[in-house]
């Protein structure tokens, strides 16, 4: 019998727990109970977040007003949360995944399978690594990914959306993940292209920062569409250069063009970047993130920096003028108004 643990309990982590718990309670090959690891926090009134989730069945900080399901069990002890699970769902902001994997080394079942919902990558001196690779290498488990046009608050309200699972070889495991996530309002399909799916989810966050600048500067819909088109081409080119096995067809799944559109229209990266541009770059991303997202985290600014490190290390800067410009603006080297100036240099 399969047993599921969610590693993470932010905005998307909480919605993933709700989705999954609504299925495990119905499916005979899964234990009803879904454990959800909570990075413990003390709320302004002094209560512990985990205690409040247990009492109210709601993540009052990251997903207020939504019941998770009585079979979701919040657990602040990471080791305890994972020890019995054979299906591990990773869903935290990407910057915390390395530390989490170190803590989990040797602490999980040897027959466990993982899936990463984390949009981001890790860049070290030795090179770039996808988060699913970090999980696979560190924990010695097979790791698929699930990405898509999935603004969490909309899925929490059961508005229809789609998602794409990317798997490496284990089709059977992919089918089990589809069974776990799929609902009438969350339509999940799978493709054999982990890197393609994961690169889509990671790179669209850079384009969303650019789209936010356009919105903040009130440059209009045509400009924003142009940025999304150029962004998609850079996403495809960068993914192919880094991982030649990536399939072009993956960009036309939910994880590709659909996620790019939704994030550029209504995501958190877009929202904070728009505020940054409205303030002429005078208030930092960190300050705006804290004010506007109340504990939720942006991925795009860090990803732009990480991708820029890869571009410089590989001598690819000239080929990615949009990614480069987003890095230069978000790190304060250029003003937000420089967002379309790359056009003079672009060959795209």
Ligand X SMILES: O=C(CO)COP(=O)(O)O
Ligand Y SMILES: NC(=O)C1=CN([C@@H]2O[C@H](COP(=O)(O)OP(=O)(O)OC[C@H]3O[C@@H](n4cnc5c(N)ncnc54)[C@H](O)[C@@H]3O)[C@@H](O)[C@H]2O)C=CC1
Binding stretches for ligand X (CB under 6 A): 119, 149-151, 208, 259, 262-263, 267-269, 299
Distance CA 189, CA 165 (A): 6
What do you get for the CA distance between the two ends of the chain, in Å?
A: 51
Which of ligand Y, ligand X, none does residue 285 bind (CB under 5 to 8 Å by kind)?
A: none
Which of ligand X, ligand Y, none does residue 220 bind (CB under 5 to 8 Å by kind)?
A: none
Is residue 243 a contact point for ligand Y (CB under 6 A)? no
Stretch that binds ligand Y, among 50-58, 145-153, 190-198, 220-228 (CB under 6 A): 145-153
Is 204 among the residues known to form the active site?
A: yes
Smallest gap from residue 264 Cβ to ligand Y (A): 13
The residue within the footprint of ligand Y, chosen from 22, 192, 225, 296 (CB under 6 A), is 296
Smallest gap from residue 93 Cβ to ligand Y (A): 5
299 annotated ligand binder: yes
269 annotated ligand binder: yes
316 annotated ligand binder: no
The total number of residues shown for the chain amounts to: 348
297 annotated ligand binder: yes
Helix-helix angle 221-242:194-216, to 10 degrees:
150
Distance CA 70, CA 21 (A): 8
Smallest gap from residue 152 Cβ to ligand Y (A): 3
Encoding tokens for residue 101? Answer: 């994997």
Is residue 58 a contact point for ligand Y (CB under 6 A)? no
What are the Cα distances from residue 309, in Å, to 122, 196, 204, 330?
11, 20, 17, 14
The residue within the footprint of ligand Y, chosen from 161, 299, 324, 325 (CB under 6 A), is 299
Smallest gap from residue 300 Cβ to ligand X (A): 7
Which of ligand Y, ligand X, none does residue 96 bind (CB under 5 to 8 Å by kind)?
A: ligand Y
Nearer Cβ to ligand Y (86/262): 262
What are the Cα distances from residue 319, in Å, to 237, 331, 339?
9, 20, 16
Nearer Cβ to ligand X (104/130): 130
Is residue 118 a contact point for ligand Y (CB under 6 A)? yes
Q: Identify how many contiguous H helices and E strands the chain contains and give both numbers.
A: 14, 12
Nearer Cβ to ligand X (50/269): 269
5-44 binders of ligand Y (CB under 6 A): 8-13, 39, 41
Query: Which residues partner with 72 through β-bridges?
Result: 34
Among candidates 199, 200, 208, 195, which has minimal Cα distance to 255? Answer: 200
Which of ligand X, ligand Y, none does residue 269 bind (CB under 5 to 8 Å by kind)?
A: ligand X
Smallest gap from residue 346 Cβ to ligand Y (A): 27
Distance CA 59, CA 342 (A): 42
Which of ligand Y, ligand X, none does residue 92 bind (CB under 5 to 8 Å by kind)?
A: ligand Y
Grouping H, G, I as helix, E, B as strand and the rest as coil, residue 83 is coil
Grouping H, G, I as helix, E, B as strand and the rest as coil, residue 72 is strand
Query: Out of 3, 18, 61, 204, which one is annotated catalytic?
Result: 204
Regarding beta strands 113-116 and 142-147, do their DSSP bridges make them parallel or antiparallel, or are they unpaired?
parallel
Nearer Cβ to ligand Y (218/291): 291
Q: What are phi and psi of 285, to 5 degrees?
A: -60, -40
Nearer Cβ to ligand X (149/230): 149
Smallest gap from residue 137 Cβ to ligand X (A): 24
Distance CA 6, CA 218 (A): 39
The residue within the footprint of ligand Y, chosen from 24, 50, 86, 92 (CB under 6 A), is 92
Contacts of 189 (CB under 8 A, 6+ apart): 162, 163, 164, 165, 178, 253, 254
Encoding tokens for residue 238? Answer: 């960068």
Catalytic residue list? 204
Binding-site positions read: 8-13, 39, 96, 119, 152, 268-269, 297, 299
């Amino acid at each position: 019998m399969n047993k599921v643990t969610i590693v993470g309990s932010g905005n998307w982590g909480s919605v993933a727990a709700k989705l999954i718990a609504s299925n495990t309670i119905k499916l005979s090959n899964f234990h009803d109970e879904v454990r959800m690891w909570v990075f413990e926090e003390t709320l302004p009134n002094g209560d512990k977040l985990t205690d409040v989730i247990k009492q109210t069945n709601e993540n009052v900080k990251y997903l207020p007003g939504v019941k998770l399901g009585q079979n979701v069990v919040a657990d602040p002890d990471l080791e305890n949360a994972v020890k019995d699970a054979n299906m591990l769902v990773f869903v935290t902001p990407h910057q915390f995944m390395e530390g989490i994997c170190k803590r989990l080394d040797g602490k999980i079942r040897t027959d466990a399978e993982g899936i990463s919902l984390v949009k981001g990558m890790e860049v070290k001196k030795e090179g770039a690594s996808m988060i699913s690779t970090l999980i696979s290498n560190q924990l010695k488990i097979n790791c698929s990914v699930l990405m898509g046009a999935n603004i969490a608050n909309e899925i929490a309200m059961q508005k229809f959306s789609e998602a794409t699972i990317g798997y490496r070889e284990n089709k059977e495991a992919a089918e089990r993940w589809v069974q776990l996530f799929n609902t009438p309002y969350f339509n999940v399909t799978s493709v054999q292209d982990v890197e393609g799916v994961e690169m889509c989810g990671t790179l669209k966050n850079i384009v969303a920062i650019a789209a936010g600048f356009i919105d903040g500067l009130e440059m209009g819909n045509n400009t924003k569409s142009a940025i999304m088109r150029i962004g998609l081409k850079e996403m495809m080119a960068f993914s192919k250069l880094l991982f030649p096995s990536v399939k072009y067809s993956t960009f036309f799944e939910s994880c590709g063009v659909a996620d790019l559109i939704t994030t550029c229209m209504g995501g958190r990266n877009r929202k904070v970047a728009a505020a940054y541009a409205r303030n002429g770059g005078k208030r930092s991303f960190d300050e705006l993130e804290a004010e506007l997202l109340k504990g939720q985290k942006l991925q795009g600014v860090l990803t732009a920096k990480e991708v820029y490190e890869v571009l410089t290390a590989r001598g690819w800067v000239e080929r990615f003028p949009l990614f480069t410009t987003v890095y230069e603006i978000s790190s304060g080297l250029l003003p937000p108004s420089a967002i379309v100036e790359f056009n003079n240099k672009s060959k795209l």
